Structure 1
């Protein structure tokens, strides 16, 4: 690895690391505010809905991964590749919105979540896909600063509009209305910032097939990481599911915290000589997981107080288990991308 490459990776880790930390931190701030504003029963519904949204969001992550890989290896046809990525994201986004309107009713019945909340939550993912396709283009180009700004636009739009709505309406429906508006704003900003003229007249079959393969693998992983909070909503009482959702929030922090590592190293991990990049990504992710788990072991009560408030401090002794779960799945995600 040349000195210039090392400097580029270091610069990317700084920019993207800061952006993902701040952007994801804003998303967790929304959950922290919701945990204090909503009743435990309503927060349990919100936690289950987030689990559903994260599972389905694998489609947007697959679009981003596919886009980043294809843009990274493209040469003279890069503009066409980027245009196809945006076209694919619109197809996937519209499909999510239409299917979501139909699926919201049975999902709401199964998990005791209002139909409007499920419908608006799923519809928000239709806009997220456009945003992640734009981020994938910046990621493949290795434009780390532009990626970071786009990531912050998505994260801030979702979080701060969501916070405003949950404070105004004090319900899970209010939160999801904020998510819908915020995701739409963030996606448009990302597109205009990164690839305002990207479009393609058609979509190649090989791109659609590769998208299906990536989405399938990610769907399995994200289902495993979220099935527990969905089962908790079914088999525990509504208040108990709310308590469990606070613990799951810590697991999600541990899972998504190393995202910057994958984002920066992914173009290198898809190259011909990818072993070194994979080893670096695995080592950094493992080290971060050990730190988060260790901190949660020694300061679990403090962590639970910060995440959920005083009513959830009894979970402090189990906090490290949630952190360990999220960290383990983060390692699996690195190997999956490799």
Structure 2
């Protein structure tokens, strides 16, 4: 018999849920940020560079986890009575997908290690192993999200952040190497499973094939968004000199912060977006993300001196006049992310083509024009703004 599923959240409940998820996601992101700070202290620069690249590998491999989460949450939201069956399917598919992606990484580990100039392939293998619990975490989060179990979802996010900083730091204290750091990340990734694994289900898998296809489509969408939102981080190192590249990297700290700030809105709104008539939910969610982004951008412009301290201090003073642009970029990318989730909730994949085209155009502009820091970030701001407007128009049209 299926577990009872709470009814759709009322506005006051949604605000309360948003507050809890915001705090939990803050803990998760602070844990990841603190892990990077500790790693920068404990590892020599060359090892820290290798670890940064390995974390990038995990980030790309983790798109499957995000797709499992959105697919699971959508299916439970539109059919609450099938929550137990969806949870069972999500558990099996997440385990299989995680093992498959991890196996591919392990098989390609010598090649990837050579590209990343690593001394050993073992860190890449450990990245592959870490994908298994990370994908299971996607199933956990999707089950909790679809059933409006905000306390359980908060626990998943908190455990994720705590696991990374605690086990990652412990591993680096034992052995200050990229291999040990990734091993700590891998062990810490199991903490959400240990604490919240009761949400997972075994047996009773029905209709796995449509679920798998939806996960694959979702993975494609999340990969397209990942490419767009990280495009300038990669290309800045290609087109800018080392000094300007460092300035750009400092500015991107604010971009990521502005992108993170309203993410809780997308998480809480997603189950409502998945229902047939969700125009009001989409408008309110978009308004909320836009308000948070506008406040972040305005605060950065007004308090640019404080913002400069947050991104590294006086050694990055040259980028201070542009910091508000980096905050605006992150705010616009947050809007795009919400609209990607809205498209996944409606099972509309037109936005994927839009994301790839936008990435290609932005890359062409950045690579062919003689741009400096201001030119690159302005290109990304314009690109994100155009994508947000077009995606909104597409969403409004498909809901008519």
Shared topology, TM-score over 0.5? yes
Q: 107-116 or 231-240: which moved more? A: 231-240
2:299 is matched with 295
TM superposition shift of 1:217:
1.1
Q: Is the Cα contact below 8 Å between 2:8 and 2:272 reproduced in 1?
A: no
Q: Is the Cα contact below 8 Å between 2:21 and 2:153 reproduced in 1?
A: yes
Match of 2:177 among 161, 166, 171: 171
With over 3 angstroms needed to count, the CA separation of the structure-2 counterparts of 1:70 and 1:167, relative to structure 1, is same
Q: CA RMSD in A?
A: 3.0
1:109 is matched with 114
Q: Is the Cα contact below 8 Å between 1:49 and 1:118 reproduced in 2?
A: yes
Q: Is the Cα contact below 8 Å between 2:262 and 2:334 reproduced in 1?
A: yes
2:280 is matched with 276
Structure with the larger RCO, 1 or 2 (CA within 8 Å, 6+ apart): 1
Give the TM-score of the pair, scaled to structure 2.
0.74
Match of 1:120 among 113, 123, 126: 126
2:158 is matched with 152
Distance 2:303 2:337 in 1: 26
Q: 296-305 or 18-27: which moved more? A: 296-305
Q: Is the Cα contact below 8 Å between 1:131 and 1:186 reproduced in 2?
A: yes
Distance 1:307 1:96 in 2: 34
1:96 is matched with 101
Q: 86-95 or 39-48: which moved more? A: 39-48
Q: 286-295 or 174-183: which moved more? A: 286-295
Secondary structure of 1:221 counterpart: helix
TM superposition shift of 1:180:
0.8
Match of 2:149 among 140, 143, 151: 143
- The aligned length equals 335
Secondary structure of 1:77 counterpart: helix
TM superposition shift of 1:243:
6.8
Match of 2:74 among 69, 77, 81: 69
Give the TM-score of the pair, scaled to structure 1.
0.86
Whether 1:20 and 2:47 are equivalent positions in the alignment is no
Task: Give unmatched runs, 5+ long, in structure 2.
Answer: 1-6, 343-400
Match of 2:220 among 185, 207, 216: 216
2:191 is matched with 185
TM superposition shift of 1:268:
0.7
TM superposition shift of 1:279:
1.2
Q: Is the Cα contact below 8 Å between 1:266 and 1:337 reproduced in 2?
A: yes
Task: Give unmatched runs, 5+ long, in structure 1.
Answer: none
1:134 is matched with 140
Distance 1:101 1:241 in 2: 32
2:269 is matched with 265
2:54 is matched with 49
Secondary structure of 1:271 counterpart: coil
TM superposition shift of 1:199:
3.9
Distance 2:178 2:242 in 1: 14
Whether 1:225 and 2:229 are equivalent positions in the alignment is yes
